[in-house]
Amino acid sequence: MDADRADRTAPRTALEEVLVEAWADVLGVGEVGVHDDFFELGGDSLTATRIIGRLRQVFEGGDVTLRTLFTTSTVAAMAAALTAGETVPGRLERIAQLHLEVARLSPDEVEAELARQRDSEGGARR
């Protein structure tokens, strides 16, 4: 492992983990630390737009903007800015946790959970 990889700080929260995954995927890099700079990793306006689009899907719009990414060019700083701007404290962290839980499910597990939800909703309507 090279020195660059050895000092990378892993995500400490679910929000940081979602951001790290989005950055790594869109930038096409194997690993992103929370203190890595978006632009030093090869980010530009096109990749920034792709990352923001992905994050808006995860966080149902929210206040995830290009401006936030350009002014807070590390995952840690972006997570802090997004958290500071929340109108409902903890909302983004909880959405991130749920996103990660769903992402870890197999397709069969997703179908089983959806069927369970449909069954419980049907029972509640009777």
Read off the pLDDT of residues 7-42 as tens digits, 9 standing for 90 and up: 689 999 999 999 999 999 999 998 999 999 999 999
- Average pLDDT rounded to a whole number, residues 54-63: 86
pLDDT tens per residue across span 64-108: 899 999 999 999 999 999 999 888 899 999 999 999 998 999 999
Two tokens, residue 93: 């962290």
- Phi-psi group of 88: left, alpha or beta (phi > 0 → left; psi -120 to 50 → alpha; rest → beta): beta
Q: Which domain holds residue 112?
A: 3-125
pLDDT at 3 over 70: no
The mean predicted confidence, pLDDT, of the chain is: 89
CATH code for the domain in which residue 14 is found: 1.10.1200.10
Two tokens, residue 58: 């995860």
Q: How confident is the model at residue 24, as a pLDDT?
A: 96
- Give the chain's domain count: 1
Q: How confident is the model at residue 110, as a pLDDT?
A: 86
Q: Give the chain as a 3 state SS string.
A: CCHHHHCCCCCCCHHHHHHHHHHHHHHCCCCCCCCCECCCCCCCHHHHHHHHHHHHHHCCCCCCCHHHHHHCCEHHHHHHHHHHCCCCCCHHHHHHHHHHHHHCCCHHHHHHHHHHHHHHHHHHHC
> Band of the pLDDT at 125, cuts 50, 70, 90?
low
pLDDT tens per residue across span 105-118: 999 998 998 899 89
